[in-house]
Chains A and B, each alone.
Chain A
Amino acid sequence: MPTGVSWGRWPRAQQRIIPITHRFEPLPQAAPMLVFGNGRSYGDVCLNDGGTLLAARGLDRFISFDADSGVLECEAGVLISEIIALTLPRGWFPAVTPGTALVTVGGAIANDVHGKNHHCAGSFGHHLLGFDLRRSSGEVIECAPGRNPDWFAATVGGLGLTGMIGTARLQLRRVPGEWIAGDSQRFGNLQEFFALAAQSDADYEYTAAWLDCAASGERLGRGVFMRGNHAPHTAVPPRVRARRFPLTPPISPLNSVSVRLFNDLIYHRPSAQQRHALWHYRPFLYPLDSVLDWNRLYGPRGFFQYQCVLPPAAAGAALPEMLQLIARSGQGSFLVVLKQFGDLPSRGLLSFPRPGATLALDFPNRGEPTLRLLESLDAITRAAGGAVYPAKDARMSAQSFQQYFPAWRQLQDYIDPQFSSSFWRRVTGSS
């Protein structure tokens, strides 16, 4: 059953939870309400403090799957991992998936999620053939790129505010099997990263880099670049039993010393430099899914994710500025991911992906100092003309949000009058 807690485990919200298990039921009248899927967004876009959450993970039925065309129709509470389990044996894979397969289709639409293949595949909305949107009035709006396109654009990346997505049709992509072939290599600084990204994006579907954010001085911006393509290979897939992180430690073991050690280890381990790497898709695309509840590692106060995108012209200067700021703050980020987005325009009014470099960081919640650091990062993002990803945010100011997403006023015309979220009230100042 849903907990009503987001993945960052902060902030905590009080809300009434109403399970939705059949798509034919009219929506309850319980304003202000919001649909909650699998709780994988980090901050408060999936929370509704003082209101109602419609827990829709139970809408997890498939409707049809055509193994010739790769078109899948399902209810919106189906997880990406469940789609993969069904379709991969028949040679199909979701065209875009985020860094965890444990998100619902509805959540993937509402946050217009992206993955390591954004530079060639765009975001989730680009492969969405259509969906139905259920409004609290009882109206059902059929949406597709060519049908009610304004509702389509408002709902893709619309943070769940336009109503409940009941069912969706997705175009999957063909894959030759479960494996991904490619390579990984160390880079010494950000210039080398940009060069690697530029030369890889044409030939590799998946590219992403891990950055050592504890490094400073000459080592600033060093990391490991990974790239790969789906490849025909017929080894027996590894049997991975997901382990659950069993408890929330009273004090998080992630501190500046352990973060430095961990990052050093990742950079120097032999597999950081591999000319011919072969990964099973799970560790390559969803490295953290093998540890369930890993977010508890950050202790009882939870953690913040910070993911921004910086336009190409500004990224070269803004990224080192950010990394220096983080290194100076002593609040190292455990895992840092850097990726170059492609140029395909997103389909949603409030979609996050846009051309530029995107940097994702996470910080244990140490209260005021952490919030101050994140606000200084926002100052750099604002000056660079970038944006911060709402799905990962729990703290950006209304001013920042409204600068990052000027289309927010247009979205207001499409918001269901009975829907709202903690995030939306926070960043628009509405009650």
Chain B
Amino acid sequence: MQRILIVGATSAIAEATARRFAARGDALFLAGRSAERLQAIAADLAVRGAQQVGSMLFDARSFDSVAPLLRAASDSLGGLDAALIAHGTLSDQGACQQSVELLREEFEVNALSAMALCTLLANQFEAQGHGVIAVISSVAGDRGRQSNYVYGAAKAAVTAFTSGLRQRLYPKGVRVVTIKPGFVSTPMTAAFKKGALWATPDKVAADIVRAMAGGTAVIYTPWFWRPIMWIIRCVPETIFRRLKL
């Protein structure tokens, strides 16, 4: 039985992952913005076998509430063994290009808040000598593209941050997992036309659960994004700047 904090618990990927945790009898603490959604998901996870499910309202833009959230989760579950940081927004690239305020907000939600959570979780897990921090980054963070470089830059920050954190915590017995999903059919991407590259939240969830249990540091999910992104990273800038990606 693991005691797991899930931030952004009402997101499709987090919910699918939480169901897998619940099915194996874990104790869960959910954080998200909508009280009624959190309650509905908590009830569902309890029916599916979670040993215990707590929840708390949490807005990622409110940095002061990070410490209270970790305290509440630890108190409720009697400690924490793992955390999944899964909240995020899909930035409107066009709007972000026109508004510094929006740009800052997207960065706060998608990058800074995840780093804030990681910072306090890292100290707690380091002190207790064990723990797993799994953070959902994105393939979009592997290289900035004109179609979504604000979102991509925020995710790149998360990727770099978790990479450094992983090094720092490795000798302390704490693992950090960076998760890079590709296209996932979720409400966040409901407006997109779907092709063969799209994965279901449940497929991504299966990969996340496996990575959190095993020793993988960085996962691409589904796996084929690893070679795809390798190629994209290899394209020289002289060519890349002419592409319409």
Contact assessment for B187 and A23 in the assembled complex, using a CB-CB cutoff below 8 Å: no
Residues of B contacting A372 in the complex (Cβ-Cβ under 8 angstroms): none
Given the contacts A1-B185, A1-B194, A19-B190, A63 and B43 also touching, CB distance less than 8 Å? yes
List residues of chain B with CB under 8 Å of any chain A CB.
Answer: 10, 12, 34, 36-37, 40-41, 43-44, 47-48, 185, 187, 190, 194, 198
Residues of B contacting A22 in the complex (Cβ-Cβ under 8 angstroms): 10, 34, 36-37, 40
Q: Give the shortest distance, in Å, between A3 (CB) and chain B (any CB).
A: 10
Given the contacts A21-B12, A86-B48, A61 and B187 also touching, CB distance less than 8 Å? no
Given the contacts A1-B185, A19-B190, A21-B12, A63 and B36 also touching, CB distance less than 8 Å? no
Query: What are 26 A-to-B residue pairs whose CB atoms are below 8 Å?
Result: A1-B194, A1-B198, A19-B190, A21-B12, A21-B187, A22-B10, A22-B34, A22-B37, A22-B40, A23-B40, A24-B34, A24-B37, A58-B187, A61-B40, A61-B41, A61-B43, A61-B44, A62-B43, A62-B47, A63-B44, A63-B47, A64-B43, A64-B47, A65-B47, A86-B47, A86-B48
Residues of B contacting A86 in the complex (Cβ-Cβ under 8 angstroms): 47-48
Q: With a 10 A CB-CB cut-off, give which of A19, A24, A61, A63 has the most chain B CB atoms.
A: A61
Q: Give the shortest distance, in Å, between A418 (CB) and chain B (any CB).
A: 21
Residues of A contacting B187 in the complex (Cβ-Cβ under 8 angstroms): 19, 21, 58
Q: What DSSP secondary structure best describes chain B's contact surface?
A: helix
Q: How far is the CA of A62 from the CA of B23 in the complex (A)?
A: 13
Residues of A contacting B185 in the complex (Cβ-Cβ under 8 angstroms): 1
Quick one: CB contact mask for A2-24 with B, threshold 8 Å, 1 for yes?
00000000000000000101111
Q: How far is the CA of A430 from the CA of B197 in the complex (A)?
A: 41
Q: How far is the CA of A241 from the CA of B136 in the complex (A)?
A: 30
Interface size for A (C-beta < 8 A) is 13
Residues of A contacting B43 in the complex (Cβ-Cβ under 8 angstroms): 61-64
Q: How far is the CA of A62 from the CA of B185 in the complex (A)?
A: 21
Residues of B contacting A63 in the complex (Cβ-Cβ under 8 angstroms): 40, 43-44, 47
Given contacts A1-B194, A21-B187, 6 further A-B contacts (CB under 8 A): A22-B36, A22-B40, A24-B34, A24-B37, A62-B44, A63-B44
Q: How far is the CA of A94 from the CA of B44 in the complex (A)?
A: 18
Q: Give the shortest distance, in Å, between A167 (CB) and chain B (any CB).
A: 10
Complex: chain A residue closest to B44, CB-CB: A61
Residues of A contacting B40 in the complex (Cβ-Cβ under 8 angstroms): 22-24, 61, 63
Residues of B contacting A58 in the complex (Cβ-Cβ under 8 angstroms): 187
Complex: chain B residue closest to A89, CB-CB: B49
Complex: chain A residue closest to B36, CB-CB: A24
Quick one: CB contact mask for A66-100 with B, threshold 8 Å, 1 for yes?
00000000000000000000100000000000000
Contact assessment for A62 and B48 in the assembled complex, using a CB-CB cutoff below 8 Å: yes
Q: Give the shortest distance, in Å, between B45 (CB) and chain A (any CB).
A: 9
Q: How far is the CA of A1 from the CA of B37 in the complex (A)?
A: 21
Residues of A contacting B194 in the complex (Cβ-Cβ under 8 angstroms): 1
Q: How far is the CA of A119 from the CA of B185 in the complex (A)?
A: 42
Complex: chain B residue closest to A63, CB-CB: B43
Give the top 4 A-B pairs by smallest Cβ distance, nearest first: A61-B44, A62-B47, A24-B36, A1-B185
Q: Give the shortest distance, in Å, between A415 (CB) and chain B (any CB).
A: 27
Residues of B contacting A64 in the complex (Cβ-Cβ under 8 angstroms): 43, 47
Q: Give the shortest distance, in Å, between B35 (CB) and chain A (any CB).
A: 10
